[in-house]
């Protein structure tokens, strides 16, 4: 007969995955928002203290983040946040261009009811972007823009696209946040999103693909030269 776990042990077994997930999300958010900037190096204990968490879940979160390409574990020297060079950003955007164009195409091919629901979600995120621009709140714009692109890949029905996008967009997000105040005001982003939404809503797969592709090409062609022009070698 299998002995039942004592209640505290059972609670710990149930709690552990949640603690690791909490640590993973907290540390990833800190990296994405540059609380832990590119090149930051620290021990697991130091990171755990700064996050207000215990070391064990932070250790497991770091292993996952290394697989995501956001950190690197250094033998006997702790953990470092991986810096990105302009060429890294270019490569990241090339992947984003491909997967988001395919995601938009897949969304436009969904049954009518499904794609209209997704179009409504995308439209709501775009409306929040528009409102943020009216209020000159670039941070709020960035949050809503990030939501739009996450919805695009998470609702497309392809789990592999979703997993690839999660890793690659986390890396790109750091570059976008670091250059947010250096770029021109992203007034064209709302119109570009509306074009993508309209194509998805109307079931026009080829148009959805093309609009999503051109939107991200435009972002790449603005962001990478800007990083080079201001002399940022790593971010």
* DSSP string for 116-164: HHHHHHHHHHHHHHHHHHHTT-HHHHHHHHHHHHHHHHHTSS-HHHHHH
Neighbouring-strand partners of residue 91: none
User: Strand pairing of 41-42 and 71-74?
Assistant: unpaired
Contact 9, 44 (CB under 8 A): no
pLDDT of residue 58: 92
Q: Which two tokens stand for residue 206?
A: 């080829």
Neighbouring-strand partners of residue 74: 78
pLDDT of residue 104: 98
pLDDT of residue 164: 87
pLDDT of residue 13: 43
pLDDT of residue 67: 86
Q: Which domains does the chain have, with CATH numbers?
A: 7-81 (1.10.10.10), 86-229 (1.20.120.530)
Inter-helix orientation angle 159-178/86-108, to 10°: 140
Q: Which residue from 208, 213, 204, 173 is spatially nearest to 194, judged by alpha carbons?
A: 208
Q: Which two tokens stand for residue 81?
A: 């946040």
Contact 38, 235 (CB under 8 A): yes
How is the beta sheet containing 41-42 ordered, strand by strand? 41-42, 78-81, 71-74
Residue with tokens 């909490």: 22
pLDDT of residue 105: 98
> d(Cα 132, Cα 114) in Å, to the nearest integer?
28
pLDDT of residue 180: 75
pLDDT of residue 3: 40
| Number of Cβ atoms within 10 Å of the Cβ of 40 | 18
pLDDT of residue 8: 47
pLDDT of residue 169: 79
Contact 74, 43 (CB under 8 A): no
Q: What is the pTM of this model?
A: 0.74
DSSP letter for each residue of 163-215: HHHHHHHHHHHHHHHHTTTTSPP-THHHHHHHHHHHHHHTT-HHHHHHHHHHH
- Each of the 235 residues of the chain gets a pLDDT tens digit; together they read 434 434 344 444 444 568 899 999 899 888 887 788 888 899 999 999 998 998 999 999 999 998 888 889 988 788 998 887 888 888 889 999 999 999 999 999 999 999 999 999 999 999 999 999 999 999 899 899 999 999 999 999 999 999 888 878 777 777 777 777 777 888 899 999 999 999 999 999 999 999 999 999 998 998 888 878 766 655 5
């Amino acid at each position: 007969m299998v002995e039942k776990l004592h209640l505290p042990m059972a609670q710990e077994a149930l709690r552990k995955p949640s603690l690791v997930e909490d640590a993973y999300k907290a540390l990833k958010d800190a990296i994405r928002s540059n609380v832990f900037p590119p090149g930051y190096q620290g021990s697991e204990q130091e990171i755990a203290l700064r996050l207000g968490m215990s070391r064990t879940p932070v250790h497991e979160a770091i292993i996952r983040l290394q697989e995501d390409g956001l950190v690197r574990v250094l033998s006997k020297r702790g953990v470092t946040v991986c810096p990105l060079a302009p060429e890294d950003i270019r490569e990241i955007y090339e992947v984003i261009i491909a997967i988001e164009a395919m995601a938009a195409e897949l969304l436009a091919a969904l049954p009518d009811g499904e794609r209209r629901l997704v179009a409504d979600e995308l439209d709501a995120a775009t409306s929040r972007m528009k409102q943020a621009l009216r209020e000159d709140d670039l941070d709020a714009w960035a949050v809503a823009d990030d939501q739009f692109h996450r919805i695009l890949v998470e609702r497309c029905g392809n789990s592999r696209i979703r997993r690839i996008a999660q890793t690659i967009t986390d890396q790109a997000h750091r570059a976008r946040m670091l250059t947010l105040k250096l770029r021109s005001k992203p007034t064209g982003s709302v119109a570009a999103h509306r074009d993508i939404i309209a194509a998805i809503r109307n079931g026009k797969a080829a148009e959805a693909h093309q609009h999503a592709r051109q939107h991200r090409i435009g972002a790449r062609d603005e962001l990478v030269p800007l990083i080079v022009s201001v002399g940022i070698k790593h971010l």
